[in-house]
Amino acid sequence: MLQLIKQSWIKSWNNWEIRLLVLVSLFLQTVLIVTGNRRKYMTNSYISAIVWLCYLSADAVATVALGVLSRTREDDRENHSSGSNYILMAFWAPILLLHLGGPDTITAYALADNELWLRHFLGLLVQFGVALYVFLISWNGSFVNYLSIAMFVPGLIKYGERTVALWSASRDRFRNSMISRPDPGPNYAKFMDEYQSRKLEGYKVTLGNPMDVSQVVDEAPKKGSNSKIPRATEMHYANYYFNTFKKLFADLILSFYDKRNSQSFFKSKSWDKVFFMVEVELGLIYDLLYTKASLIHSPVGGFLRCFTLASTIIVFVSFLICDRSSLHGIEVGITYTLLIGAIILEIYAVILMVSSDWTMIWLTDSSNMSSFRFRAKVSYPIYKAVSFLRRHLHLVPSERRWSGKIKQYNFFMLCITRDEQSKWSKFLRVFGFYRFLEKNLVPNGLKALIFEKLKEVIEVQDNNKKRLDQELLKKDECLGENNGDFNFDQTVLIWHIATDLCYHTDDDPDITISEADKKSWLYDFDIFKERPLSRNDDENYYKFIRKMSKWLSDYMFYLLIVCPFMLPSGIGQIRFEDTRAEAMEFLEEGKRARSTDIKDSCCKLLDVNTDHKPSEVKGDRSKSVLFDACRLVHSLNNSNQHDKRKQWETIFNAWVDILCYAAAECNWSDHADQLRRGGELLTHVWLLMAHFGMTAQFQISRGYVRAKWQLD
């Protein structure tokens, strides 16, 4: 039989297999610690693919390396090789345990990984057993053997930390950690016994008005902070509300007092401070769910981090000064590489720990005055050192806590571009790579307008006592026609197409300005400074909301097509495919040669007579809403008397309503899952709405009341 692989190649691979595996394992750990924490503010699909590949490969490579080490000794005996080098290779086993513990910046790639903590615990036992076996069969009482014992300690600590971090972030454990002690409430039986005894004594007993004995709602703690560190005060407020609102990510409810406390506080702050605090809160949630933050930022975790670093340094120095006369070959160089790499990774982990929001909050916390003086002295120098490492050496991740971007997907772009239907494009979409997907930074003006909108809704909500998601999308101007015939995915698609039709058939007020200059102007636009008392008379405000309407439209269409799980359930994909098929058929039909110009296509669509509803003409088997969108455009033109400024005001308000409704209806787990992909504006709006008491999680309307008797 023909031998496909030469014997010399097999022998060469056997000699280099374990050497390559341990080096690859070290490389994967380096990639993970550098990219793991950056994914919370990076939306690049290639970064996500690299993190995914390294995350899955890291455990596999380290596990295979331990398996190879366990049989290498037998191979050496069969080949009558010297055992001195195997003793050195056996020293790599506890280092591989260190690798299996993973970096602090990523314990779970996705939320589902946290539910597999028991598998990791079993892996800890098995891999420790294999490493111990390798150590025992290599024992000859040499100094390297004793160094192996010393390396087992940090290896087990790191692996144990990862298992505990996964367990603490698992759904049941995370939920149970926030459930308070059982609360039986006031003693009903004792109260009724007294009631019965009074009646037997002949008294006429009636139940008086209950007396509220609930705790008084406290304001957010006015914690002192080191004013030299920018936004330290806001970070403390964010941490305070984080400890309350993290219950949302465990599917728990909040009390009426939480609502009043949060609502009154956030209403009194400016939009920029509010959005910053929301960013900090979501950043802390990301750390809890996907990293070892719950461990390393505790007193025990800080001690263990220092201990593992010190242990690794001591082992390295000991190996450096020990007698290595019996050791030779490339194994010595690889051992140096592994030890130096482990030390560098541990030092880098400490730097990341010090530069985190958790540490900055702790350093500037004045609630414990006994240690605050010391922390106040070191906090600002540490902040400056971290800033230097971040800005000049790029060793520390950015201060950003999310990408700050909204992704853009457009219906007409997909219709006029044939490449989108190619097999290659479909293949890329399987792996999460979407062509013609753009990203834009969220302008400050848009955040300010959303904040204003929510504050306005609060006033209405306080008067009628109804939730926001019960009120939004109920207005005729939001749907164009009777709301009863529409569901959410249909609403998004109709308004998206209608917005594009209005946008591309409208005269661009900045047609002579480059796209880059337009975006620069949008990002710098101050909505409060530049608009006059009458919004509709302001040309800049009109241009701004016109562009924001377009961006919100493309963003919601992106969510509908790429992230439908974040929107209320429906048949959005079917509706989109039917609508695109009708649009492509219309543009290719007869004399309408398919146009690659979106404006020309929009004009052709609006030229069609739409006096009758499409469903009355062709039935409802097809879910296309193409000409329903055209009817909405005509309705908007008529209702606003062809006033473009009023029209764009209506469109913008509709998109903010749609955005807020979608945010309130999205499940907490979907919001949490998107944090690892750079975050979504939808998630930030959802948490802001929760702070304003606009979500369904506030269900405890009354606390303790104590009834009182009236004796007649």
Amino acid (one-letter) located at 212: D
Please report the pLDDT score of residue 471 as a whole number: 47
Q: Which residue has the tokens 């970064």?
A: 47
Residue 698's DSSP bridge partners are 254
Cβ(200)–Cβ(154) below 8 Å = no
42, 101, 496, 532 from 659: Cα distances, Å: 22, 40, 12, 26
Q: What is the C-alpha to C-alpha distance for residues 436 and 138, in angstroms, rounded to an integer?
A: 58
Please report the pLDDT score of residue 9 as a whole number: 76
Instruction: Count the neighbouring beta carbons within 10 Å of the beta carbon of residue 229.
Output: 17
Amino acid (one-letter) located at 547: K
Cβ(676)–Cβ(684) below 8 Å = no
Q: What is the C-alpha to C-alpha distance for residues 532 and 541, in angstroms, rounded to an integer?
A: 9
Nearest to 264 by CA among 692, 694, 699: 692
Cβ(348)–Cβ(395) below 8 Å = yes
> Helix/strand/coil (H, E, C) string of 625-666?
CHHHHHHHHHHHHHHCCCCHHHHHHHHHHHHHHHHHHHHHHC
Structure tokens at 21: 């595996």
Cβ(251)–Cβ(205) below 8 Å = no
Please report the pLDDT score of residue 469 as a whole number: 44
Structure tokens at 164: 């505990």
Nearest to 291 by CA among 122, 169, 160, 124: 169
Q: What is the C-alpha to C-alpha distance for residues 661 and 686, in angstroms, rounded to an integer?
A: 9
Q: What is the C-alpha to C-alpha distance for residues 438 and 408, in angstroms, rounded to an integer?
A: 5
Express each pLDDT in 637-665 by its tens digit: 887 776 788 899 999 999 999 999 999 99
Q: Residue ranges of the chain with pLDDT lower than 50?
A: 1-2, 80, 213-217, 464-484, 532-534, 536, 590-591, 593
Please report the pLDDT score of residue 705 as a whole number: 56
Q: What is the C-alpha to C-alpha distance for residues 644 and 638, in angstroms, rounded to an integer?
A: 11
Please report the pLDDT score of residue 411 as a whole number: 92
Residue 441's DSSP bridge partners are 405
Q: What angle do CA 59, 61, 62 make, to 5 degrees?
A: 65
Q: Which residue has the tokens 């290659």?
A: 424
Please report the pLDDT score of residue 83 as a whole number: 58
User: Which stretch of DSSP H or E encloses residue 402?
Assistant: none
Q: Which residue has the tokens 């005894």?
A: 197
Q: What is the C-alpha to C-alpha distance for residues 12 and 305, in angstroms, rounded to an integer?
A: 39
38, 105, 396, 398, 600 from 392: Cα distances, Å: 17, 21, 10, 12, 49
Express each pLDDT in 650-705 by its tens digit: 999 999 999 999 999 999 999 999 999 999 999 999 999 999 988 877 665 555 55
Q: Which residue has the tokens 């070959």?
A: 329
Please report the pLDDT score of residue 184 as a whole number: 73
Q: What is the C-alpha to C-alpha distance for residues 340 and 638, in angstroms, rounded to an integer?
A: 73
Please report the pLDDT score of residue 592 as a whole number: 52
Instruction: Please give the distance of CA 454 from its chain centroid, rounded to a whole number.
Output: 22
Nearest to 162 by CA among 130, 121, 131, 125: 121
Q: What angle do CA 158, 164, 167 make, to 5 degrees?
A: 145
Q: Give this prediction's pTM.
A: 0.89
User: Which phi-psi region, left, alpha or beta, contains residue 590 (left: φ > 0; alpha: ψ -120 to 50)?
Assistant: left
Q: Which residue has the tokens 């139940």?
A: 207
Q: What is the C-alpha to C-alpha distance for residues 286 and 304, in angstroms, rounded to an integer?
A: 22
